[in-house]
Amino acid sequence: MRTFLVATDFSKAGHNACLYGAELAKAFHARLILFSAYQQVPVPLSDAPVIQTPEDMKDFVQQRLEDESRAINPANEFQIETICRDGTAANMILGIARLKQAELIIAGMKAPRVKMQRLLGSTVTALARRTSIPLMVIPETAKYAGLPNLALATEKDIAPDTDTRAMDFLLEIGKTYHSRLFLVRIAKNRYHEMFESLNRPFYLSRATKLLDPQYECIESKDVPSALNEFIGERHIDMLVLLPQEHSLLDKWFVKSISRSVVFGVQVPVLILPHLYGIP
């Protein structure tokens, strides 16, 4: 049976990620793991800080996970396991995902704020940089409506000898939802657009041929705005990032955050693990 892991901090964004994960679990006939990490911190109940015991904190977090489980699966339509651990969130999430052989990690993304850390949080940023498992980031306001239209944003074609197994989950999504896939590239000027139009991503197209991908090259100096406009016009349900040596991830997910690249996108973002050439 497939296993999906949802990481939650019990915020509004975390709850929405749990709701979205529940719908995905039903569509894929998967079991769901609800996970939350916690750390021991002083609690100022009086003049002197009082440290809650590990047992108290664990019981409190475990109870909240069980409450969340009942809220998103009231009819027991699928299997849910709840796990909490004491430790740094990103480390614990990745560790449990590997231990449970999860095929997907799901995390919530808070509504737009001024700074990246308030938007994505250090946990999601760390996960995006370190995960070897597909990571789906769900905006706080995103509502599940299936995934019929997907857009894969890419800077360049993959190498001919690339091991494309990292894209297996994307293909499974396409098969499950009968999705239409767009391969999207943003050109800086008209000459760049002409060049890119004549040099389509052959190997990437071949790797995703089961989804009959449609290639689109858009001229714009503002990558985030062009990408967001494309998502709106094509009614894209999920944006897929395929970082090669983290170039796209750094440019679109981190460096361009102040220009509304990802936080302006009100659709889930699927970040696939790196694609490497075969040794």
- Written as tens digits, the pLDDT of the chain (279 aa) is 899 999 999 999 999 999 999 999 999 999 999 999 987 655 555 555 555 667 788 999 999 999 999 999 999 999 999 999 999 999 999 999 999 999 999 999 886 554 444 434 578 878 887 888 999 999 999 999 999 999 998 877 888 888 788 889 999 999 999 999 999 988 776 655 566 555 678 889 999 999 999 999 888 877 777 888 899 999 999 999 876 544 555 555 444 432 344 555 779 999 888 765 443
pLDDT score at 187? 77
* pLDDT score at 235: 95
- Are the C-beta atoms of 33 and 5 separated by less than 8 Å? yes
**pLDDT for the residue numbered 49:** 52
Which residues 6+ apart lie within 8 Å of 189 measured at CB? 219, 221
Sequence ranges of the domains in the chain: 3-139, 149-271
Could you tell me the two tokens for 257? 């955050």
What single DSSP character describes residue 164?
G
pTM, two decimal places? 0.85
User: How far apart (Å, rounded) are the C-alpha atoms in residues 121 and 162?
Assistant: 32
d(CA 78, CA 48): 46
The CATH topology of domain 3-139 is Rossmann fold (3.40.50)
CATH number of 149-271: 3.40.50.620
CB 137, CB 107: distance < 8 Å = yes
For residues 29 and 23, what is the distance between their CA atoms, to the nearest angstrom?
10
Rounded-to-5 percentages of helix, strand, coil across the chain: 40, 25, 35
Q: What is the pLDDT of residue 117?
A: 40
Spatial contact of 47 and 23, defined as CB atoms under 8 Å apart: no
Q: Fold identical between 3-139 and 149-271?
A: yes
Whole-number pLDDT of residue 57: 86
Residue partners of 139: CB distance under 8 A and separation at least 6: 13, 16, 108, 109, 111, 263, 265, 266, 267, 268
- E runs forming strands in 24-114: 31-38, 42-43, 50-51, 80-86, 104-109
